[in-house]
Amino acid sequence: KNQVEQSPQSLIILEGKNCTLQCNYTVSPFSNLRWYKQDTGRGPVSLTIMTFSENTKSNGRYTATLDADTKQSSLHITASQLSDSASYICVVSDYGGATNKLIFGTGTLLAVQP
Amino acid sequence: EAEVAQSPRYKITEKSQAVAFWCDPISGHATLYWYRQILGQGPELLVQFQDESVVDDSQLPKDRFSAERLKGVDSTLKIQPAELGDSAMYLCASSQSYRAGGYGYTFGSGTRLTVV
């Protein structure tokens, strides 16, 4: 069964600190992996998208890594800000079948405190 | 920057009433998706359109939910009658093609439904 699992479920850090969020997936075949940021009460916004051949991709203070062999990804946030408080969702594209679905993780809820 | 428009942002309705949500995708995006997101969980696909045709509605509770995209542009999702368990965020997303594999995939801001 295609699944995306994220850890930790929730995380509290102090402003200015770094943190790393984890994503493990069992999706096959694999097309790409995306990290989304979802503010409370808003829709998800894409941070990065990586294909099989990409190991790392950055977007400002966000850096995502991908190990396609172990089927693991991480999202590293540097010098956190209060505005980083949100849910971060890992999404894997299933490049198979007619509908080419996106499989969503349940997210990591990050709280950045002053 | 192009956006997926959704309305209303918030909706409170009584149990057994009808409710409808509207979505206008990014211009030129052929594929439109409706998702339901329960608090603390990831989005769950309800229905996927390619132009005006439904390509996947396997998770849509068809006894009470309906969706249409008559002219292949904007779309409406309806619930009748609403139940307490329908309280959730309803998200619309669009992409240039369902073969995009997530590229160009953009979400709207969602409609927060509360059934009382």
Backbone angles phi, psi at A82, to 5 degrees: -55, -35
Distance, in angstroms, between B35 CA and closest chain A CA?
11
d(CA A13, CA A30): 32
With a pLDDT cut of 90, the percent of chain A lying above it is 78
pLDDT value of residue A9: 95
With a pLDDT cut of 70, the percent of chain B lying above it is 95
Distance, in angstroms, between A81 CA and closest chain B CA?
22
Note the pLDDT tens digit of each residue in A26-76: 988 888 899 999 999 899 999 999 988 899 999 999 999 999 999 999 999
Closest to A81 in 3D by CA, of A44, A32, A39, A29: A39
For B59-90, b where at least 16 C-beta lie within 10 A, e where not — what string? ebeeeebbbebeeebebebebeebeeebbbbb
- Nearest C-alpha in A relative to B100: A100
Q: Does B43 touch chain A (CB under 8 A)?
A: yes
d(CA B4, CA A114): 33
Res B116 pLDDT > 80? yes
Q: How far lies A90's CA from each of A73, B68, B88, in Å? A: 9, 29, 20
Contacts of B107 in chain A (CB under 8 A): 36, 43-45
pLDDT value of residue A97: 52
Under an 8 A CB cutoff, do B107 and A45 touch?
Answer: yes
Closest to B71 in 3D by CA, of B109, B24, B35: B24
Under an 8 A CB cutoff, do A42 and B40 touch?
Answer: no
pLDDT value of residue B103: 67
Number of other residues whose CB lies within 10 A of the CB of residue A2: 14
**Amino acid occupying residue B16:** S
Q: Does B107 touch chain A (CB under 8 A)?
A: yes
- Segment B49-77 shows an average pLDDT of 93
- Segment B91-95 shows an average pLDDT of 94
Which among B42, B98, B101 has CB closest to A32?
A: B101
**3-class secondary structure, B3:** coil
